[in-house]
Each structure stands twice: as C-alpha cells, then as structure tokens.
Amino acid sequence: MVKVLVCLTIAIILVSLAAADMYSTYHQAFRNIRNEETLCVKNYQAGATITESYTDFESLEKETQVVSRTYSDRSQGNPVLEASINSNVVGRIHLGWESRNVTPNATGRHAVVTRSVEDTVGAFSVQNFIQLWGNNTTGTVSVDWLPCG
C-alpha cells in the first residue's frame, strides 16, 4: 500500500512539473510573436507604389486612407495614387514610395523617377500625405514591373 501511495505521489509531481513547464513555454511563445501589419498599393497606370509597414510593435493606432484612380481615357485626367497616413506607434515603421516612368526604355526597363524610404524605430507619431501623379501617356502596361517600396 505504501508503495502504491509513493508511486501515485511521484506520478502527480511529475505531471505537475510537466504542466508547469508547458504553461511557461506556451506564454513565452506568445510573447515572442512578431507583430506585423503591412499595406502595399500599386497603380500601374500612374507608375506609383506606396508601402506602409509596422513590425515588432507594442502599440499601434493608425488611420490610413488611400486613393488610387485610373482612367481608360487620358482626357478624363491623369492617374493618381495618394495616401494619407496618421499613426502613433511604439515599434518599427517602414514607409516607402516610388514612382517610375510607365513607358519602358530601350532595354525594356521602367526608369525610377523618384524614391523615398523611411525606416524608424521607437515611440513616435507619423503624419504623411503622399501624392503621386502619372503624367506620361501609356502604351501597353505590364503588371510585373512595379515593386513595393
């Protein structure tokens, strides 16, 4: 009888230790999850792309509005890509935008007209308004030449 009680006591202690170890490992795994929120918008007719990315953040409050317009007839207006970004973040932020010539050059590449990249780490407030207008006439547009910023 004593042997049975000792064996049961040892079994209960081992199960308790295993459950306690699983509990701490479970919470460690959730503490180490990488937070990420990314938005990439491309307008091939305007030759423009905008990327907004937040990673490893503790807190994030953001309001982003994006307008992307294209026209089948250029007489109606120029294509445009606009973004209004307003955020408060504790973490990492990557903001990038790029505009390219929509008409490929002799080698078939689309030349970069302008490019901006902002990478920031810390606690900060961001307010940006980005407006990219296309003003070239387009020929045949391929959908694989415009990368995220």
Q: What is the model's pLDDT at position 37?
A: 93
104 is a domain residue: yes
In this structure, the answer to whether residues 28 and 73 fall within a common structural domain is no
Domain that residue 17 falls in: 1-33
**Residue 39: pLDDT over 70:** yes
Give domain status of residue 45, yes or no: yes
Digit-coded pLDDT (tens) for 10-32: 656 555 545 555 555 655 666 66
What is the four-CA torsion angle of 70, 71, 76, 79, rounded to 10 degrees? Answer: 30
| Per-residue pLDDT at 138 exceeds 50 | no
Of the candidates 139, 135, 134, 136, the one whose C-alpha atom is nearest the C-alpha of residue 49 is 134
Identify whether residues 21 and 57 lie together within a single domain. Answer: no
145 within domain boundaries: no
Q: From CA 6, how far away is CA 8, in angstroms rounded?
A: 5
In a domain, 147, yes or no: no
Please state the pTM of the whole predicted model: 0.67
Q: Give me the residue label for tokens 């460690």.
A: 28
**58-95, pLDDT tens digit by residue?**
999 999 999 998 888 777 778 889 999 999 999 999 99
Q: Are residues 17 and 51 in the same domain?
A: no
pLDDT at residue number 142: 43
Question: What is the structure's pLDDT at 50?
Answer: 94
Tally the domains of the chain. 2
The pLDDT of residue 1 is 59
Residues 47 and 59 occupy one common structural domain: yes
User: Which DSSP state fits 6?
Assistant: H
Confidence band, pLDDT 50/70/90 cuts, at residue 57: very high
Is residue 3 scored above 50 in pLDDT?
Answer: yes
More confident call, 145 vs 118: 118
